[in-house]
Protein backbone atom coordinates (compact mmCIF):
# COMPACT_ATOMS: atom_id res chain seq x y z
CA UNK A 1 0.00 0.00 0.00
CA UNK A 2 2.95 2.26 0.55
CA UNK A 3 3.46 1.99 -3.21
CA UNK A 4 0.16 3.68 -3.99
CA UNK A 5 0.63 6.46 -1.50
CA UNK A 6 4.22 6.76 -2.77
CA UNK A 7 2.99 7.50 -6.29
CA UNK A 8 2.81 11.11 -5.15
CA UNK A 9 6.59 11.16 -5.60
CA UNK A 10 6.26 10.04 -9.23
CA UNK A 11 4.01 12.95 -10.16
CA UNK A 12 5.18 16.53 -9.46
CA UNK A 13 3.11 18.62 -7.04
CA UNK A 14 0.26 20.48 -8.68
CA UNK A 15 0.01 18.02 -11.57
CA UNK A 16 -3.22 16.09 -11.86
CA UNK A 17 -3.44 12.83 -13.73
CA UNK A 18 -6.49 10.96 -14.91
CA UNK A 19 -7.59 7.59 -13.63
CA UNK A 20 -6.46 6.06 -16.93
CA UNK A 21 -3.02 7.67 -16.67
CA UNK A 22 -2.62 6.37 -13.11
CA UNK A 23 -3.55 2.85 -14.20
CA UNK A 24 -1.04 3.16 -17.05
CA UNK A 25 1.71 4.05 -14.56
CA UNK A 26 0.79 1.03 -12.45
CA UNK A 27 0.73 -1.34 -15.46
CA UNK A 28 4.31 -0.45 -16.39
CA UNK A 29 5.66 -0.25 -12.85
CA UNK A 30 7.63 -3.36 -11.91
CA UNK A 31 7.22 -2.63 -8.19
CA UNK A 32 3.49 -3.35 -8.50
CA UNK A 33 3.78 -6.87 -9.93
CA UNK A 34 2.25 -8.70 -6.98
CA UNK A 35 -0.67 -6.37 -6.39
CA UNK A 36 -1.23 -4.82 -9.80
CA UNK A 37 -4.73 -6.21 -10.42
CA UNK A 38 -5.93 -5.37 -6.90
CA UNK A 39 -4.63 -1.80 -7.21
CA UNK A 40 -6.29 -1.32 -10.60
CA UNK A 41 -9.57 -2.79 -9.29
CA UNK A 42 -9.42 -0.43 -6.32
CA UNK A 43 -8.74 2.61 -8.50
CA UNK A 44 -11.71 1.70 -10.68
CA UNK A 45 -13.96 1.83 -7.59
CA UNK A 46 -12.94 5.38 -6.66
CA UNK A 47 -15.12 8.37 -7.47
CA UNK A 48 -13.58 10.90 -9.82
CA UNK A 49 -12.58 14.12 -8.11
CA UNK A 50 -12.80 12.65 -4.62
CA UNK A 51 -9.89 13.57 -2.35
CA UNK A 52 -8.62 10.79 -0.08
CA UNK A 53 -5.91 11.08 2.53
CA UNK A 54 -3.30 8.38 3.03
CA UNK A 55 -5.29 6.67 5.82
CA UNK A 56 -8.42 6.46 3.66
CA UNK A 57 -6.43 5.12 0.72
CA UNK A 58 -4.81 2.42 2.86
CA UNK A 59 -8.12 1.37 4.41
CA UNK A 60 -9.84 1.25 1.02
CA UNK A 61 -7.01 -0.79 -0.46
CA UNK A 62 -7.15 -3.31 2.41
CA UNK A 63 -10.88 -3.79 1.87
CA UNK A 64 -10.38 -4.07 -1.90
CA UNK A 65 -7.62 -6.65 -1.58
CA UNK A 66 -9.83 -8.75 0.70
CA UNK A 67 -12.71 -8.57 -1.81
CA UNK A 68 -10.54 -9.40 -4.83
CA UNK A 69 -8.77 -12.32 -3.09
CA UNK A 70 -12.13 -13.70 -1.90
CA UNK A 71 -13.42 -13.64 -5.49
CA UNK A 72 -10.36 -15.55 -6.71
CA UNK A 73 -10.60 -18.27 -4.08
Residues of the domain holding 67: 2-72
Domain count across the chain? 1
DSSP string, 33-71: TTTHHHHHHHHHHSPTT----HHHHHHHHHHHHHHHHHH
The 10s digit of each residue's pLDDT in 19-72 is 888 888 788 876 777 788 888 888 888 877 777 787 888 888 888 888 877 776
- Tell whether pTM > 0.75: no
Amino acid sequence: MELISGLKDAVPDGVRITQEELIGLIRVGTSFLGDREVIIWYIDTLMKGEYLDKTSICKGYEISSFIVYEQVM
